[in-house]
Amino acid sequence: MSLVRKVSEFYDKIGRYLATVSEYIAVLLLIGVLSGGLFVAVSHPPVEGTTSGGAVAIIYPGPSYQFGAEAFIVGAILLIATVGIVALFRAPNVYGQKRYSTALAALGIITLLTSIMALVFLWSVK
């Protein structure tokens, strides 16, 4: 094997790894922005607040403001939804392992439905 071919294969592998890493970074940044991370970074809200009774509140009761913990909660829910979507996209591509493919599809459906229900619940609380 010539040196040129080895260098070419090395750059092909590095290119694939960098593309994969950059895709994961882009998804994480998108989740951070969609979860309210940009609002938290700009306005610096407190992590939690208190109710009129003195209890700790991590979800602000109105739609015009949010606490810092709320961004982490929504970000975690969106991350779980992303795992579900990736599992659903990977399930049909598993050949020769029907149980694994079925389990992967079930995991994707369960995590996606759970995250949708959690987001609807948070929306109803606000």
pLDDT tens-digit readout, 3-21: 777 767 776 676 666 667 7
Percentage of the chain beyond pLDDT 90 is 17
pLDDT of residue 90: 83
The residue written with tokens 């959690």 in the block is: 118
Tokens for 13, please give them: 């592998």
For residue 45 the two structure tokens come to 């809200």
**What is the pTM for the complete model shown?**
0.75
| Residues 109-116, mean pLDDT to the nearest whole number | 94
Give the mean pLDDT of 65-90. Answer: 89
Q: Please say whether the beta carbons of 42 and 8 come within 8 A.
A: no
Q: Residue 59 pLDDT > 90, yes or no? A: no
Asked whether residue 113 carries a pLDDT value surpassing 90, the answer given is yes
Query: Is pLDDT above 90 for 91?
Result: no
DSSP summary character for residue 58 = S
Rounded Cα distance, 120 and 106, in Å: 21
